[in-house]
Structure 1
Amino acid sequence: MADAVEIETMKNYNIAFEKIDPSISRYPYCIVWTPIPVLSWLFPFIGHMGICTSTGVIRDFAGPYFVSEDNMAFGRPTKYWMLDVSKVYASGSNAWDTAVHNASEEYKQRMHNLCCDNCHSHVAMALNLMRYDNSTSWNMVNLCLLSLIHGKHVSCVGFLKTWLPFCILTSVILAVTLSLNLR
């Protein structure tokens, strides 16, 4: 029995993985992430997040009373974290899509707040509604940390867009600090 469940899980995972297509920004069953200019340059673990439907359509809470569809507020994703649809409580793509839809409809009624009720909160609500991984305690902090750990860069360019500004800024600060200390 456990082997059959494991085989079905791997089959679902492989089907979704094969449908990921960065060239057209399609990431089925994924959480996607892109850097926010200046903020991500200083703190590369902080960025803009969205959640994708079973067909890979990106939904992101992009501003007050607005959830965008396939047009992320800060550009195309640079990282994605593929989730396992079999970990949805009711299981299956319909339960996944319903939770993403319901979270999006709720966030169309909300004011955006950078610190408290933001794009990460929108994704957390979708995961809580679907009871992903048998949990209803998803929040912006654990999503930030887990997407940093589990997120994969969509390409070399995605990696550079994520990390290069931070590395340049850190190098400049170190160079200035060293030059001041050598005087």
Structure 2
Amino acid sequence: MKDNDVLSDTSSPIMDLTVDPVRKKFPFCIVWTPIPFLTYFFPFIGHMGIGTSSGIIRDFAGPYHVSEDNMAFGQPTRYLQLNYQNARGGIQGWDSAVAEASEKYKGRMHNLCLDNCHSHVATALELMNYKNQRWNMIKLACILFICGRFVSFCGAVKTFLPFLLIVTCITVLYLFL
């Protein structure tokens, strides 16, 4: 990603743009957390949400339900902070798009493969015309997997340890049976 893709101005006099995993505040962030069992086998698959300007996370948590600051599968383990200046309307445009996407998804049935939490985030980015690009769940998953930052070492362990244990067990069984 280019330098202007990620928010670098953390000294805003107007608001606190600091990501604070302890307080669970992720302003202008796409956030991600593992889905038990599914992520254990496919560590690039997980649950996604999007943070408002104040850091409140909105995520499409299930049929007709968008949660607020209570992600469906636990607290974020990864995040990517974006630059709100790349959104049409800046801060207000960002928050408006997140709210509009959330309202849309409160009226939708959840579908694991086609209309899910990733789609909710993509819809928000589309509504704010983020970077004048098209957004979809595959693009978001790839960007977050490659460019996302872990909230802590424990976040990385929570994401990859089950997968590594499964691969190790399969390898040992294959080699010694």
Task: Settle same-fold status: TM greater than 0.5.
Answer: yes
Structure 1 Cα separation of the partners of residues 137 and 98 of structure 2: 16
Q: How big is the shift at 1:10?
A: 4.2
Partner SS state of residue 23, structure 1:
coil
Q: How big is the shift at 1:36?
A: 0.2
Structure 1 Cα separation of the partners of residues 51 and 24 of structure 2: 10
Structure 1 Cα separation of the partners of residues 176 and 16 of structure 2: 48
Cα distance change on mapping 1:14 and 1:147 into 2, 3 Å: farther
Q: What residue in structure 1 maps to residue 51 of structure 2?
A: 52
Structure 2 Cα separation of the partners of residues 123 and 61 of structure 1: 9
Structure 2 Cα separation of the partners of residues 87 and 32 of structure 1: 18
Structure 1 Cα separation of the partners of residues 139 and 122 of structure 2: 9
Q: What residue in structure 1 maps to residue 22 of structure 2?
A: 23
- Please tell me whether the aligned partners of residues 17 and 27 of structure 2 are also in contact (alpha carbons under 8 angstroms): no
Structure 2 Cα separation of the partners of residues 113 and 69 of structure 1: 20
Q: What residue in structure 2 maps to residue 142 of structure 1?
A: 139
Partner SS state of residue 22, structure 2:
helix
Higher helix share: 1
- Please tell me whether the aligned partners of residues 33 and 77 of structure 2 are also in contact (alpha carbons under 8 angstroms): yes
Q: How many residues align?
A: 170
Q: Deviations over 1:96-139 (max 9, x none)?
A: 0000000000000000000000000000000000010111x200
Q: How big is the shift at 1:18?
A: 5.0
Flag structure 2 segments of 5+ consecutive residues without an equivalent. Answer: none
TM-score (normalizing by structure 2): 0.92
Choose the corresponding residue for 2:95, options 97, 103, 106: 97
Cα distance change on mapping 1:18 and 1:109 into 2, 3 Å: closer
